[in-house]
Structure 1
Amino acid sequence: MKAIISSLLIILLIFSCKEQPEHQVEEATIDVSEVEHNSNPLEGAWELVGYYNYMDNKIKDSFRTSEGYRQVKMYTDSKVMWSKYIPSDSSEWFGYGSYTVNGSELVEILEYGSEMMSKIIEEKKEFKHELVINGNTFSQIEIDDDGNRIYAENYRRIE
């Protein structure tokens, strides 16, 4: 009888030791998912789907991109790259640089780009926009010197 009780205690001890590490792994998994949930909402690939024009800070009109036109932006944790394809234009359009998000402000600082974009970058490297993120869509809104909205590029997440 003493041998059976000793065996049961040893088995119980073995199983109780195994449960503790599994519990710790579950806690680590929960921590990782919480970190992923709080990650950068812009990180990923986005495609331009349309525009808004503003008058008196209200949307005056909106339109979708034309047939065959494509513009894609890709954001990593701190870098941005975009490319644009216009079927009727043989020019190449792309840019690469870094970006920051401060509240509702998106600031992109381009380092280099296509030949056409490089000419623009020579005169202006920093592009500031109002940023509105709503799940799998975002708008970057051009603001004039008086703080008024001019137009917005509207994107949807593709990855």
Structure 2
Amino acid sequence: MKFIFFFISLIVLSACNEAKKPDNSVTPEVPEDQALKLNGTWEMVGYYNYVDNKVTDSFQPHLGQRQVKMYTDQKVMWSKNVPSDSTEWFGYGSYKANENELIEILEYGSEMMRRIIEEKQEFKYELVLEKNKFSQIEVDDDGNRLYSENYKRIE
């Protein structure tokens, strides 16, 4: 009888462990040598608008909208899902980053991005990189901040 009770308990515990889903709100562990690199997967969590280089307003993506970027040592790929719009948004290319600058050079993308890439392939941003978050900030020709996309590390 004890054996049956033990066996059933073991099955229940095993089933509970399999039902656990990954929690994306938990900050992933990042090896120290990767902590201040873009390598990894990032999800956009919001935007900032700037006036006179100060944040004047911030907002989050609309409900259901997601934008994810993935960086390797030399390549970047991003996709954006906007459920209320049938337009596809994604891009792929290479990038360069240093302590305070991110340059993405896109090779191809979705139809809408292809039109943009035909006019402009290189996108320069001010980069603010921390261990598990980063901001890419659009600046004007005079170096004034305009807006930023803010990301958190998800892997």
Q: What TM-score, normalized to structure 2?
A: 0.78
Match of 1:26 in 2: none
Q: 2:91 aligns with which of 87, 92, 95?
A: 95
Q: Matched residue pairs, number? A: 124
Q: 2: CA distance between counterparts of 1:68 and 1:155?
A: 16
**Whose radius of gyration is greater, 1 or 2?**
1
Mapping of residues 114-129 of structure 1, within 5 Å: 114-129=110-125
Query: How far did residue 51 of structure 1 move?
Result: 0.3
Structure 1 unmatched ranges of 5 or more? 1-35
What aligned pairs does 1:1-159 form with structure 2 within 5 A after superposition?
Answer: 37-39=32-34, 41-159=37-155
Q: Kindly indicate which of the two structures has a greater share of residues assigned to helix.
A: 1
The C-alpha deviation readout for 1:20-70, integer Å capped at 9, x for no partner, is: xxxxxxxxxxxxxxxx63346110000001000000000001111110000
SS of match in other structure, 1:121: helix
**What TM-score do you get using the length of structure 1 for normalisation?**
0.76
Give 1:135 deviation, angstroms: 1.4
Give the drift of 1:134: 1.6
Q: CA RMSD in A?
A: 1.0
User: CA-to-partner distance for each residue in 1:82-105, whole Å, 9 max, x for gaps?
Assistant: 000001110110000000112200
- Name segments (4+ residues, structure 1) moved above 3 Å: none
With CA pairs under 8 Å and 6+ residues apart, which has the higher RCO, 1 or 2? 2
Structure 1 counterpart of 2:33, one-letter code: N
